[in-house]
Chains A and B, each alone.
Chain A
Amino acid sequence: MSDLLNSLVGGLRDGSLYGLLALGIVLVYQTTGVLSFALGNVGLIAALTLHSLTATALPYWLDLALSLVGGAALGLLLERAFVRPASAAPPISLTIVTLAIFTLLQGVAFQIWGATTSATLIPPFDTTSRELGASGVYLAPLDLASWLAGPLLAGGLYLFLRSTRLGIAMRASADQPEAARLVGIRPGLVGAIAWGLGGLLATVSAILIAANLPGLGATFMLEPLVWAVLAAALGGLASLPGALAAGLLIGVLDQVLQTPLGPLDLTAYHRSILFTLFLALLLARRGGLFAGSRLRSV
């Protein structure tokens, strides 16, 4: 039983971070129609930058702020420099472009930071697990921070889209692109802001994922990215709460499937099982698990 509860602790931690990345993917897809694989490695670059900044004399809060702003700026810049110029190409080409950007950023990270950096954890996250009473359930402060990050940022995004001028413009643009243009909303601006926000969300996700890793490499965001893309698709590529919930579901299932349960040990096949479950869910509810809760209605 405590095994299962520990899987739940870890699953919700990972899932919340996959969900965060998925929020950015949904935001970009809704406003620009591009399935963005690039965001995962925007987070990678920003997290590795934070790793380097913590070695300098700057105060930690400034390191963190620089990394977050850097992640958002990188997202925005990539949209301007690489995605927008290709906007005349068909969707499949744009998807390949975002995959190419993903590889590009990975190559850059490899050039700057090498294959793996030393096992330095990103402060100030405390990853020491403490047993809760005598329950056999272990919890680290980092787990709590990760649990909170998903819902808090999703809530912040919700408020932004609901109550600010820019947020309303973004929803209008996602909902009725033509009408939004007619009332003077610039689609290019909306797309760039979406990429910037996506970069910010990816950065938070990557920093918290990195904090839990023993060492950082140039490829540590590939797996989270794949789960996030799956989560975004399960959320119908349209729903923010749907993407977050699907991220949590994937995170928990991934951990539970890796826990040996009873005599039938399927842990070696956990990834195949999870991907198959995903396909079954996607095909059973093709509008997403939470059809109806679109971005336009938040």
Chain B
Amino acid sequence: MRSLALPYPPPSRPTTVLAGAILALLLLLPILLDRWAGQAAFDLFLLAGVGILVIAATGQQLLSGVSGQPSLGGAAFFGAGGYGLAILLARYTLPLWLALPLAVLAAALAGLVAGLPALRVRGAYLAVATLALVFIAQDLMGQYQTQTLQSSSLAVPRPSLLTGDTSFYYFTLAVTALALLLARNLLAGRTGRAFAALRESEPAAQTLGVPAGRTRALAFVLGAALTGLAGALQTLQQGSVASSAFGLDLSVLLLSAVVVGGSGRLSGAILGGCLMAGVADLFRYKLPATLGPVDVAAATPIIYSLLIIVAVARFPGGLAGALDRGPEAQRGD
């Protein structure tokens, strides 16, 4: 039995300094890249993608990691945010400042609906129930696409202020930083403790006055909202949206970022999100299409899967757990 630790340690000075240093570096990065590397715009485009995956992984971390409700529904929330924004911007021509919060709200509502099964079932059953939701959401988005729009994808104009890769990079950086700050404060406070208490022992949490049903639902709403925010940003970045992108493999990607990075802690979502996005970009854009006899693009899923398998076997508590607890405490639980 593990002691009921805070889901996130109180802010320590080194953490704050490290976060500040990373933020400063990221702020200066466009200038540095411009000076010393060619193709800076494309790298910034990729880095914005990393930020998006970090936000989505943070959402999944709140839900599956911290509150301990295994959810395979990530793609549905991501899609709700992505589609929500696309429809609001392209079909109803709302301004971005209004459309983005509404898209996040749509994802939060999807989370509320998805949270209903969680009031009845737990563990593996919940994973299967949320898996069903992904297929329902994808089917409905596809039907909307073919029957209402009658095309395989929906083009979304980027607002003029964000058309450049540099401005979109700064926009994503700001949103990512805000989302992480929000998640951090949430986890350090009452809500985060309630999530963690529920994960460790529901009866014990209830004895301490944690309303189990409401807290579970809240984890779904908050997790879905953050995941949906990431989906909305990705729609904005890609300039179009298609239902085929929001399948089971996206759910697996989002959850594997949490599992590889470290379940139950914010740093796990950050590390996992960066790693999974970084490896994907490496294979898709940075390596040559063929290395000797190997077709790199076709081999990517194999290497990706092996990475997940090896990472979980080597670091059961995730990279974040291995980094700060030392080798003697790497067991996850």
Contacts and interface: CB of A to CB of B under 8 A. Distances in A.
Interface of A: 29, 35, 82, 85-86, 88-97, 99-101, 103-104, 106-108, 110-111, 222, 226, 229-230, 232-233, 237, 268-269, 271-272, 275-276, 278-279, 282-283, 286
Contact of A86 (B132, B136, B300, B313): B313
A103 B249 CA distance: 9
B125 A282 contact: yes
B302 A107 contact: yes
Contacts of B109: none
Contact of B128 (A88, A94, A108, A230): A230
Interface of B: 64-65, 70, 116-117, 120-121, 123-125, 127-129, 131-133, 135-136, 139-140, 143, 147, 248-249, 252, 255-256, 259, 263, 298-302, 304-306, 308-309, 312-313, 316-317, 331-333
A103 B304 contact: yes
Contact of B302 (A91, A108, A282): A108
B283 to A, nearest CB: 12
Chain B interface helix/strand/loop/mixed: helix
Contacts of B249: 103
A104 to B, nearest CB: 4
B132 to A, nearest CB: 4
B263 A90 contact: yes
9 contacts: A82-B313, A92-B127, A107-B301, A226-B131, A268-B147, A275-B136, A282-B125, A283-B116, A286-B121
A101 B309 contact: yes
A202 B83 CA distance: 36
B309 A82 contact: yes
Contacts of A86: 309, 312-313, 316
A35 B125 CA distance: 10
Contact of A96 (B116, B143, B252, B300): B252
Chain A interface helix/strand/loop/mixed: helix
A32 B131 CA distance: 21
Nearest to B315: A89
Contacts of A29: 124
Given A275-B139, A282-B129, 13 more contacts: A86-B316, A91-B123, A91-B124, A92-B70, A93-B332, A96-B256, A103-B305, A107-B299, A111-B298, A111-B302, A237-B124, A269-B139, A275-B132
B309 A104 contact: yes
Given A97-B308, A100-B309, A88 B331 contact: yes
Given A89-B312, A100-B308, A275-B135, A237 B301 contact: no
Contacts of B308: 96-97, 100
A125 B248 CA distance: 32
Contacts of A93: 259, 263, 312, 316, 332
Nearest to A271: B139
A178 B299 CA distance: 42
B70 A103 contact: no
A275 B129 CA distance: 9
